[in-house]
Amino acid sequence: MSFPNLYYKRTTATAKACYICYKPTTAVLATIDTSDFLYTCTIHLSDHGFATRVLELESENKIGISVEEIARLREEWEEKQRRKQEKEKVDKDKPADEGEKKEDDGKSGKSSKVPGSLPKSGSLSPRPTHEKYILHRDIFALRVSEHRRRRQTSQAKDLAPRLPGAPSSSLP
C-alpha cells in the first residue's frame, strides 16, 4: 500500500496533538484518499525540513475548462452562427412558404440556446482548493515505514490463528 507524497492541508473541529511537538492543533495534512493523515502545527508547515508547499498556477485553477476545449467550443459556435446567417440570407433571397420560414425560425431559436448555455458552464465558480504540501523525504520515509509496520502487524494477527500450536506432550 503505497501512497503519494502529496498532502492537503485541512482544518478539523477538534484539536489533537501535533505529530512533531505534541501541542494541540486543528491543522491536518491528509492524502487525497485520506489513507494517511497527520496533525501538525501551522508553524511546522513553514519549515522546509518538514514540508514544502506546492505552488500552482492560479490561471489553471480559476477555469475548470482547458484552453483546447474552449477553442473547440468557440469554433463550433462560430460555425453554427455562420450556418444560421447563410440560412437567413437564403430565406430572404428566396421567397418561400411561410410554414417553412416558421420551421427555420424555430430551428434557429433552438440553436441560439446552445451558445447561451456555454457561458454558464464556463462561468462556474472554481472549487475551493486546499493548500498542497510535500513532506520532506525523511519525514515521508517515517510515514511509509509506520504504515508498513501497521500492515505487517495486522497480517501477523490474521495469520497467527491459522498456525499450528506447539506440541504439549514430550517426545518418546
Structure confidence at residue 50 (pLDDT)? 94
Domain count for the chain: 2
> Is 118 within a domain?
yes
Domain that holds residue 139: 7-56+130-155
Q: Is residue 56 very low, low, confident or very high in pLDDT (cuts 50, 70, 90)?
A: confident
Q: Is the pLDDT assigned to residue 23 strictly greater than 50?
A: yes
133 touches 9 (CB < 8 A)? yes
Convert the pLDDT of each residue in 87-116 to its tens digit.
888 887 776 555 555 555 555 555 444 454
Same-domain check for residues 45 and 17:
yes
Structure confidence at residue 172 (pLDDT)? 74
Residue 35 DSSP label = S
pLDDT mean over 157-161 = 91
Same-domain check for residues 67 and 118:
yes
157 touches 149 (CB < 8 A)? no
C-alpha cell of residue 107? 430551428
Q: Is the pLDDT assigned to residue 119 strictly greater than 60?
A: no
Structure confidence at residue 122 (pLDDT)? 47
